[in-house]
Structure 1
């Protein structure tokens, strides 16, 4: 059985399963990767670092180290930007596959506090459709590509089985809880004041409002990638909500 390894900045805090070989290092410090790459044949890379999704500027250095270590196959979790990691991977002779999860269902955990305390979710642009994917389904796609190959030179948008509005997601969470949970649509001005009250920085507020005001139709377009690569259908949001209902209680 192939060894599964994971890179983390803090091995003690990683809380990974016992069968995972843990290596300490960071993509922003490429020199720390050399020990972790020994004996590795396939790698999953991030194209950005931190909650602000700033593109990694170390892409070319990382790819050089990966190739020198004898890695032949890589997947890249992209944010949709053609940043240094994506560019370096595409320019290499590696078997690369770039994967874009349109949105992950676990982002809904950001609603947990107000659902628990007030039974409500408040957001602007309530009609936007998002084809969110369960993070476990996305991880299964990554694992299948890295282990089985067959997708070299491809870029895929990875989605769940349906496109839902925020209100539809809230109703699914309410059904999983067996409780009433309301969705209240805010105007952009109301959202700005609401997020200010939560301590958000102005640049973060501007980013979110601009992003949600300009959501492209493709964000709500369902793709068959999960089924095609893993052989099983992706989980619907209602199943995710049922499996994670404890987080909202």
Structure 2
């Protein structure tokens, strides 16, 4: 058993991404011992100098031993269309190294009645984590506030956001809050065997989000509810892979059908403070749309 106050070694996988990067920064701020597994250490920037860095790749199990050796807890973000294999590789390496607890970033799509490719990928990955025999905690966030950054191009060039979500709403969560929950789960007891659905505190349609961005940047913006076929055409032209296009369109259809607006109090329950609003997120990131 670890003594009270003793620092444990925490491995972060996915530290160059939106949530993983915030988890890394907050763990460093909390004075934790941190190691990261990354494909490209250069992408860590200045944070790379504050932690142990191991170059490796979840798709290549032979590169994982050095990253997992001596690790107590793991935070893992999976990306791609074969999440179950990646989750299996992570849990195999974790078991081999004697890791005690694995925390996985999943998706709230797993608990929605609206079946999606994204949901299925995460259901399969969660099953691998749960079957591993390790202590686990699974975080299931809904729409990220930062997803709106995909609109930057059309906002800057045309003052318009095109999206096939109609009046459907989501409850956008600030990735900083997801990371704060992850850090709390990693460094405090009592979260083993639990899955947490995480959302922001308010349900907003895309048109309402666009109006808030418009107010922040001080110029008029328009939301256009485009047909799904037009959205697909745009993504094909942008060169996105078919499996990704299908996953995005299904997520949009889920929101349009009214299945994205669930609000939970979990962030507040775990952190002891209110979840950040979309307006809060815009205070830090609104300049990106100007």
TM-score strictly above 0.5: yes
Counterpart for residue 272 of structure 2: 231
Q: 1:198 to 1:87 in 2, by over 3 A?
A: closer
1:33 and 2:61 aligned: no
User: How do 1:1-249 residues align onto structure 2 when only pairs under 5 Å count?
Assistant: 1-17=31-47, 18-46=49-77, 48-50=78-80, 53-79=81-107, 80=110, 81-83=122-124, 85-200=125-240, 204-215=244-255, 217-249=258-290
Q: Once structures 1 and 2 are overlaid, which stretch shifts more, 183-192 or 72-81?
A: 183-192
More helix by share: 2
For 2:99 and 2:242, the matched residues in 1 are separated by 42
Structure 1: gaps of 5 or more residues:
none
Deviation at 1:197, TM superposition (A): 4.4
**TM-score, length basis structure 2:** 0.77
For 1:136 and 1:227, the matched residues in 2 are separated by 13
Deviation at 1:229, TM superposition (A): 1.3
Q: Once structures 1 and 2 are overlaid, which stretch shifts more, 6-15 or 87-96?
A: 87-96
8 Å contact 2:165–2:225 — kept in the other structure? yes
8 Å contact 2:174–2:200 — kept in the other structure? yes
8 Å contact 1:173–1:242 — kept in the other structure? no
Name the SS for the 1:124 alignment partner. Answer: coil
Structure 2: gaps of 5 or more residues:
1-30, 111-121
Counterpart for residue 119 of structure 2: none
For 2:225 and 2:73, the matched residues in 1 are separated by 44
**TM-score, length basis structure 1:** 0.89
Deviation at 1:187, TM superposition (A): 2.4
RMSD after superposition: 2.1
Q: Once structures 1 and 2 are overlaid, which stretch shifts more, 213-222 or 156-165?
A: 213-222
Q: 1:39 to 1:164 in 2, by over 3 A?
A: same
How many pairs align?
A: 245
Q: Deviations over 1:13-63 (max 9, x none)?
A: 3225132322211111122111111221110123x423xx43241433421
